[in-house]
Structure formats: C-alpha cells, structure tokens
Amino acid sequence: MNFSLLSKVTYSPAYTLVPTFECFNHCTYCNFRAAPGQSPWLTLAEAEARLKPLQSQGVIEILILSGEVHPASPRRQDWFQHIYRLCQLALDLGFLPHTNAGPLSFSELESLRTVNVSMGLMLEQITPMLLETVHRHAPSKVPELRVQQLEWAGQLKIPFTTGLLLGIGESEQDRCETLATIAQLHQRWGHIQEVILQPHSTGQKQSEAGTTFPFDQFLRTIALAREILPGDITLQVPPNLIPEPSGILACLQVGARDLGGIGPIDEVNPDYPHPLGQDLVHQLNQAGWQLVPRLPIYPQFDHWLDHYIYQSVKEWREKLT
C-alpha cells in the first residue's frame, strides 16, 4: 500500500496520571469523581514507578488529569504544587506533559505553563440552563469561569485543547453557541489547537441515569463544528465512544481528523476501552486513511515554548520524522 496517497488521521500515544479523583464538583453524569477526602493522592514515587517502564514503549504524552480541590480549600496550594511536581517529573523522564485540572487561577496557569507543552479544559456547554440540572452541584461549571480560563490561556500563549460534552441536556442551538464562543476566542488569541467533540456515554458510576448521545446527532455536530470553527483548529473525536470502526470512518468523512490521546484506560470513561489495534489500523487504511502518532502540541505552537521544553519537543519531532 502506498501510504503517501492516504489522508492522515492523528492520535497521541498517551498515558494518564490522576493526581486525585476527589472533586468538589458533583456532575450527575460523571464516572470519574470521588468525594473530597475519599481518594488518596498519587505519590511522586508511585508516578515514577508507573512512568519509567513507559520510556521504551513509545508513549509521548503524559496527561495529568485531576479532580478539583476547591479554590478556597486550605489544601488547594498543596494540590497545585503536587500537580506541578508531577509535570516536572514527566518532563525529567523525557515525556511531554499536558494538564487538565479544571479551572485554575491566572497565576496557577502561568506557573503550569512552564512545565507543560499544552493544557486543556472542556468548555462543555456555555448555556447556564445546565446549572439547574446536571451541573447544579458543580460550582466550577459556571460557563463564565470556563470561558475566562480559555481567555487567560490565550493571553499566556498556552497551546490549548477544549471541547464540548454532547447530550447532557443542551440543544443544538446551545452547541452552535458554544462552538461560536470557541471560534471567537481563537480568532482573538490563536491558541486553540484542537476541539474535542465528546458524546455522553452512560457509565456505571454516574449518579443519575442518562442516555447515550445519538450517533446521527453526533455526526451532525461534527459537521456543524467544521463549519463554525476556523480551519486551523483540529476536530478530535474519542474512538472508544464511537460504535464500530465504520463509525470512526463516518466521523472522518464529516470533518474529524484526530482520535485524541490513546492509552491503556480512558479514566473519564472507564467502561469504554480504547480500540487502537491492527484491526482499526487496517480498516482505516482500506478506507484511505493512515493513522499516525503526533505530539500533544501542534507544530505551529512550538515557538511559544520556553527553551527547556522546546528542546524536548524538538527531539520528539525528530524521532517521528
């Protein structure tokens, strides 16, 4: 097969570290959260023991994905410093960290910028209506807080990933307005590298029953996103939440071009294992697509990095060429 003739779809070879599952939010659809004080914090020694064997396994991205400690909690500073040290550990071991730890203060973002190649926060939906339903016990899901986070990330020149959670009670108009907000922020700062379109998929741990987002609506949302968002923003879809490889192909046909971070487990959706394997690769190839690994930072943002991190990124780019 002549791979030079295939269109490319990317993914990030990744491993997720969870500093803590505890979270002061209680979203009704969440399959990740533990109550505050009910999740031991991952120690640096435990993290190092997990990461060292990955140095020879092709893993590039270390996703630091944390539950949230309340900004007013006396434990907030310890939590933040722990996340910082985990990022530094990942860098020291030769990986590229990407952190998603909920809304952060401007100074917290500014500090983590020095130990991450990129960062992220799901905007989810900007409609305040959800604060009366699925987000009624989730103070950090106030839309203005999350929009502010994306604004600050742009000011700080942080390559950023955001996204929509689909099927949590929003309307199609809500989705379009959320996408338009992301487009406006990117037009102002030029910092959004990818937008995740994540269909809600029911899991065993969520506190209230929900329904899986219909696939036909999912495809329509991908198409709408491709119309609304600037062309330099990549659309990402999670392959483990899409039915059958044929569903992934359908997503690619309407505009998706990335399958996100793929590793041993999806901590946010633990009931849905990642499908990366030779069967998927073969079916993509047969349909005219080549699955290729990427870094957690897109090349057009490399010049934003501090010299120390830039050197690590440069070395990884040379390995992938």
pLDDT in tens, the chain (321 residues): 666 668 999 999 999 999 999 999 999 999 999 999 899 999 999 999 999 999 999 999 999 999 999 999 999 999 999 999 999 999 999 999 999 999 999 999 999 999 999 999 999 999 999 999 999 999 999 999 999 999 999 999 999 999 999 999 999 999 999 999 999 999 999 999 999 999 998 876 776 767 889 999 999 999 999 999 999 999 999 998 997 778 999 999 999 999 999 887 888 887 777 766 667 788 889 999 999 999 999 999 999 999 989 999 999 999 998
User: 31 near 204, Cβ under 8 Å?
Assistant: yes
Burial class (CB in 10 A: 0-12, 13-18, 19+), 34: middle
Give the domains, in start order, of the chain with CATH numbers.
3-320 (3.20.20.70)
User: Residue 177: left if φ>0, alpha if ψ -120 to 50, beta else—which one?
Assistant: alpha
Please calculate the CA angle 159-163-167 and round it to the nearest 5 degrees. 175
Name the pTM for this structure.
0.95
Describe the chain by its helix, strand, coil percentages, rounded to 5: 45, 15, 40
Handedness of CA 53, 49, 161, 236 (dihedral sign): positive
**Greatest CA span in the chain, whole angstroms?**
59
Q: Report the pLDDT value the prediction gives residue 245, as an integer from 0 to 100.
A: 77
Rounded Cα distance between 149 and 109, Å, is: 9
Q: Which of 154, 166, 158, 157 is nearest to 197 (CA)?
A: 166
Q: Report the pLDDT value the prediction gives residue 1, as an integer from 0 to 100.
A: 60
Q: Report the pLDDT value the prediction gives residue 276, as an integer from 0 to 100.
A: 64
Strand partners, 258: 10, 236
